[in-house]
């Protein structure tokens, strides 16, 4: 409690920084609901609940953008304070929470409650609050008692451990799948599995599901260590993308390939052939990806299964040239199960042959589209070939070799529908598929702690034991 009467309060009209402390006036807060807003008044003394009887819900932003701009990253909010004064004739109780958000996702909440004597300023404090990401935003929510004023709020931040890694916040919502770091030249992204999340409760977001032309490949984890230039080197023209290996990766760490099915074919935009378009071949799942010849999962299309969680104002992927890829369009009745059909954030006519355009700040951006080239048609930035990561194939599972149980050859499409893909509690991956009304599956698990070796059990009947094949990359 501060024994300072309202007559001695200093009125703030704008945010003030004092050392590592940012201060905002109480008038920066606002009411939450329109119904309650009639009782909220914005006065020089602060945000006031003029209701003589009822509390009203308000929200206050936490000022720390100046720290982000200066430091690029913070680790801790050392001391957040909210100053309030009760102008009523009786004691009142104020209940508040400090909430952390990343985009639309709620992270943590910290509750505080104090009793307010009349006529003096009281302070609610939150100390040593760890920050999840430099993409985090914080706000205070309060049930503001009758005749009570929010005078001011402040924040001091711990800037130790700053890493000035400005792009890392894009990847934080996927921190269970990727980790990031920066050096002077590169943003570094390491993957936990190289696969999309398998924790999706909505079956429409499950990878591998929906493939109708399955090439007898399963999605096996692979630990990628991506490096992209922090400052892209823009070309005067463009360079051709390769159809042999990744050309970009999504924010969940999953590689992105060109749509061309033939690895050594020309990818010049003028050489488009629908017969070699992976997207049109039925080889992709409902999320826009599939398992390739190295049993590696990758996208050939907009990663639409990220959209339920992804902030569309942030890149959804990065080219290996360092240029960000934003979601433009890509939802169809198949890709995304029609949930995103109405999301169209870009006029495709404004894009160049690489699927890129210059934004208002003068920077290149790629955009996803529902028509070819879907993601990156060619490169507007310089590509360092050493940054491309190609997953080696498994021995005994080379393209053209026979699949156990007589289900065709590895790498060659078979007429079947992939119905499910999941990881069980014993660490086994299950891929189930249906052909001619018969349910078949592949069940696999890593067999070595030191080598990339796996045991694959091919079952011609999901309820019966099958042939086990042990293979290493």
- DSSP notation for 323-345: -EEE------SSTTTTTTTT---
Q: Judge if 178 and 143 occupy the same domain.
A: no
Q: Judge if 144 and 123 occupy the same domain.
A: yes
Among 71-80, 116-125, 157-166, the least confident range: 157-166
Q: Judge if 141 and 51 occupy the same domain.
A: yes
CA angle 333, 338, 340 (to 5 degrees): 130
Strands in 192-329 per DSSP E: 213-214, 225-229, 234-240, 248-250, 255-256, 289-291, 297-299, 317-319, 324-326
Residue 449: CA count within 13 A, CB half-sphere: 0
Highest-scoring range by mean pLDDT, 41-45, 179-183, 389-393: 389-393
Q: Judge if 362 and 424 occupy the same domain.
A: no
The predicted model gives 198-220 an average pLDDT of: 94
Sign of CA dihedral 16, 18, 19, 20: negative
Exposed/middle/buried for residue 161 (C-beta within 10 Å: 0-12, 13-18, 19+) = exposed
Q: Does residue 339 form part of some domain?
A: yes
Q: Does residue 394 form part of some domain?
A: no
Contact (CB, 8 A) for 459 and 441: yes
Q: Does residue 163 form part of some domain?
A: no
Q: Using CA atoms, how far apart are residues 104 and 88, in angstroms rounded to an integer?
A: 36
Q: Does residue 78 surpass a pLDDT of 90?
A: no
Q: Judge if 323 and 190 occupy the same domain.
A: yes
What's the chain's average pLDDT? 88
Q: Using CA atoms, how far apart are residues 297 and 206, in angstroms rounded to an integer?
A: 12
Domain that holds residue 325: 168-387
Among 97-101, 169-173, 338-342, 426-430, the least confident range: 169-173
The predicted model gives 44-58 an average pLDDT of: 84
**Omega within 30 of 0 (cis) for the link into 373:** yes
Q: Does residue 459 surpass a pLDDT of 80?
A: yes
Q: Using CA atoms, how far apart are residues 361 and 20, in angstroms rounded to an integer?
A: 29
Q: Using CA atoms, how far apart are residues 369 and 357, in angstroms rounded to an integer?
A: 13
Contact (CB, 8 A) for 374 and 330: yes
Q: Which residue has the tokens 């299950």?
A: 430
Domain limit, last residue, from 356, 387, 418: 387
Contact (CB, 8 A) for 329 and 370: yes
Domain limit, last residue, from 322, 354, 387: 387
CA angle 456, 459, 465 (to 5 degrees): 95
Classified as helix, coil or strand, 82 is: strand
Q: Using CA atoms, how far apart are residues 407 and 214, in angstroms rounded to an integer?
A: 11
Contact (CB, 8 A) for 409 and 183: no
Q: Using CA atoms, how far apart are residues 357 and 416, in angstroms rounded to an integer?
A: 39
Contact (CB, 8 A) for 409 and 403: yes
Q: Judge if 151 and 183 occupy the same domain.
A: no
Number of domains in the chain: 3
Q: Judge if 325 and 381 occupy the same domain.
A: yes
Altogether, the residues listed in the chain come to a count of 473
pTM equals 0.69
What pLDDT digit, counting tens, does each position of 157-190 carry? 665 544 457 677 788 889 889 998 888 899 999 9
Q: Judge if 295 and 432 occupy the same domain.
A: no
Among 125-129, 213-217, 351-355, 465-469, the least confident range: 125-129
Q: Using CA atoms, how far apart are residues 443 and 459, in angstroms rounded to an integer?
A: 8
Q: Does residue 46 surpass a pLDDT of 70?
A: yes
Give Dmax over CA atoms of the chain in angstroms. 87
In the numeric block, which tokens belong to residue 422? 């999941």
Q: Using CA atoms, how far apart are residues 33 and 6, in angstroms rounded to an integer?
A: 27
What pLDDT digit, counting tens, does each position of 276-324 carry? 999 999 999 999 999 999 999 999 999 999 999 899 999 999 999 999 9
Q: Using CA atoms, how far apart are residues 165 and 187, in angstroms rounded to an integer?
A: 7
Classified as helix, coil or strand, 53 is: coil
For residue 158, the model assigns a pLDDT of 61
For residue 34, the model assigns a pLDDT of 66
For residue 4, the model assigns a pLDDT of 37
CB atoms within 10 A of CB 145: 22
For residue 71, the model assigns a pLDDT of 40
What pLDDT digit, counting tens, does each position of 415-435 carry? 999 999 999 999 999 999 998
Q: How confident is the model at residue 462 (pLDDT cuts 50, 70, 90)?
A: confident
**What is the C-alpha end-to-end distance of the chain, expressed in Å?**
66
Q: Does residue 121 form part of some domain?
A: yes
Highest-scoring range by mean pLDDT, 136-145, 364-373, 395-404: 364-373
Contact (CB, 8 A) for 64 and 70: no
Q: Does residue 8 surpass a pLDDT of 90?
A: no
Q: Does residue 473 surpass a pLDDT of 60?
A: yes
Domain limit, last residue, from 132, 158, 184: 158
The predicted model gives 186-200 an average pLDDT of: 94
Q: Does residue 396 form part of some domain?
A: no
Contact (CB, 8 A) for 160 and 75: yes
Q: Does residue 398 form part of some domain?
A: no
Q: Judge if 180 and 276 occupy the same domain.
A: yes
For residue 163, the model assigns a pLDDT of 47
Task: With residue 71 as reference, give the H or E element that holds it.
Answer: helix 65-71
Q: Which residue has the tokens 């052939």?
A: 273
Q: Does residue 395 form part of some domain?
A: no
CATH code, 96:
2.60.120.260
Contact (CB, 8 A) for 155 and 80: yes
Q: Does residue 52 form part of some domain?
A: yes
Q: Judge if 180 and 308 occupy the same domain.
A: yes
Q: Does residue 325 surpass a pLDDT of 70?
A: yes
Q: Judge if 448 and 361 occupy the same domain.
A: no
Q: How confident is the model at residue 5 (pLDDT cuts 50, 70, 90)?
A: very low
For residue 108, the model assigns a pLDDT of 85
Share of the chain above pLDDT 70, in %: 89
Q: Judge if 181 and 147 occupy the same domain.
A: no
CA dist 111 → 23, 93, 95, 126, 128 (Å)? 21, 13, 7, 9, 14
Nearest in space to 24 (alpha carbons), one of 150, 158, 157: 150
Among 159-168, 203-212, 384-393, 401-410, the least confident range: 159-168
For residue 272, the model assigns a pLDDT of 95
For residue 169, the model assigns a pLDDT of 79
For residue 166, the model assigns a pLDDT of 66
């Amino acid at each position: 409690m501060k024994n300072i009467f309202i007559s001695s309060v200093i009125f703030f009209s704008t945010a003030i920084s004092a050392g590592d402390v940012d201060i905002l006036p109480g008038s920066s807060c606002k009411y939450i609901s329109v119904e309650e807003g009639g009782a909220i008044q914005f006065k020089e003394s602060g945000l006031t609940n003029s209701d003589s009887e009822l509390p009203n819900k308000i929200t206050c932003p936490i000022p720390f953008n100046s720290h982000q701009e200066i430091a690029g990253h913070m680790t801790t909010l050392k001391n957040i304070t909210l100053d309030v004064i009760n102008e009523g004739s009786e004691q009142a109780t104020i209940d508040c929470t400090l909430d952390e958000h990343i985009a639309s996702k709620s992270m943590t909440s910290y509750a505080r409650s104090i009793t307010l004597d009349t006529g003096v300023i009281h302070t609610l404090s939150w100390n040593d609050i760890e920050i999840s990401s430099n993409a985090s935003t914080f706000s205070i929510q309060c049930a503001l008692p009758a005749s009570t004023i929010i005078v001011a709020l402040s924040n001091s931040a711990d800037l130790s451990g700053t890493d000035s890694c400005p792009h890392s916040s894009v990847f934080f919502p996927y921190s269970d799948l990727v980790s990031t770091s920066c050096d002077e030249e590169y943003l570094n992204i390491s993957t936990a599995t190289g696969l999309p999340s398998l924790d999706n409760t909505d079956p429409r977001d499950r990878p591998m599901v929906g493939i109708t032309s399955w090439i007898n490949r399963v999605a096996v984890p692979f630990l990628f260590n991506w490096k992209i230039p922090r400052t892209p080197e823009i070309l005067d023209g463009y360079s051709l993308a390769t159809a042999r290996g990744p050309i970009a990766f999504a924010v969940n760490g999953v590689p992105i390939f060109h749509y061309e099915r033939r690895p050594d074919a020309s990818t010049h935009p003028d050489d488009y052939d629908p017969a070699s378009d992976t997207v049109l071949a039925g080889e992709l799942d409902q999320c826009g990806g599939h398992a390739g010849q190295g049993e590696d999962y990758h996208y050939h299309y907009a990663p639409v299964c990220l959209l339920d969680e992804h902030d569309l104002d942030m890149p959804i992927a990065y080219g290996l040239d360092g240029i960000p890829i934003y979601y433009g369009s890509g939802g169809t009745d198949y890709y995304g199960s029609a949930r995103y059909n109405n999301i169209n954030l870009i006029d495709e006519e404004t894009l160049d042959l690489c699927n890129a355009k210059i934004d208002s700040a003068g920077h290149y951006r790629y955009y996803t589209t529902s028509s070819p080239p879907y993601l990156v048609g060619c490169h507007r930035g310089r590509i360092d070939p050493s940054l491309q990561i190609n997953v080696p194939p498994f021995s005994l599972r080379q393209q053209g070799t026979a699949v156990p149980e007589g289900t065709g050859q590895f790498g060659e499409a078979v007429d079947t529908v992939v119905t499910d893909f999941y990881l069980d509690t014993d660490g086994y991956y299950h891929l189930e598929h249906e052909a001619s009304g018969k349910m078949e599956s592949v069940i696999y698990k890593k067999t070595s702690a030191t080598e990339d070796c796996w045991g694959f059990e091919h079952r011609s009947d999901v309820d019966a034991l099958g042939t086990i094949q042990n293979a290493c990359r």
